[in-house]
Amino acid sequence: MENNSTSRLDDIDLRLLKLLQNNSNLTVKELGAKVNLSATPVFERVKKLEKNGFIKKYVAVLNAEKLDKGLIVFCNVTLKEHTREIGRQFVKDIIALKEVVECYNISGDYDFLLKIMVSDMKEYQNFVLDHLGSIKNIGSAHSTFVMGEIKNDYAVPI
């Protein structure tokens, strides 16, 4: 198997991936029943998918609102300067911020897109003033507030 290609994955591997990304709590026996294989070959296939990087990790998807982190903000960031060192430092600073749950280097009018989760507008204001505002070389930051979540599917379309 190649790390970046599905060309060497067969139908059973793809079915296992679909099943696991929908419910990673399925046992090897349960997976086997769904793909018509015994536990041992299923176990070996899953281990190989993990080893080759098709499965990065297993997680529990939490309810942000119940944990008082229901305000989602998308923040477009532009850097003042574009050097490798400034970019690396920005990424290092962003990774350290627990409120930033996703960060993408993007093309277009902005350099980065951040997904930020906080409890409310007051916490976001404090985040911007105390944390985001202290990161050097940010030229501008434009915030978009999520009013309602329509679709949030963690699954990779296979």
The string of pLDDT tens digits covering residues 87-119 is: 999 999 999 999 999 999 999 999 999 999 999
Percent of the chain with pLDDT strictly greater than 70: 96
Domain with 44 in it: what CATH number?
Answer: 1.10.10.10
Determine the length of the chain: 158
Structural tokens at position 29: 């026996």
Domain shared by 21 and 87, yes or no: no
Q: Per the domain annotation, does 158 fall within a domain?
A: no
43's enclosing H/E stretch is helix 39-51
Tally the domains of the chain: 2
3-class secondary structure, 98: coil
Note the pTM of the prediction, 2 decimals. Answer: 0.87
Domain shared by 42 and 82, yes or no: no
Structural tokens at position 66: 């119940």
Structural tokens at position 77: 């960031």
Chain Cα centroid distance, residue 64 = 15
- Do residues 135 and 94 touch, judged by C-beta distance below 8 A? yes
Expressed as residue numbers, the domain containing 47 is 11-51
Domain shared by 35 and 76, yes or no: no
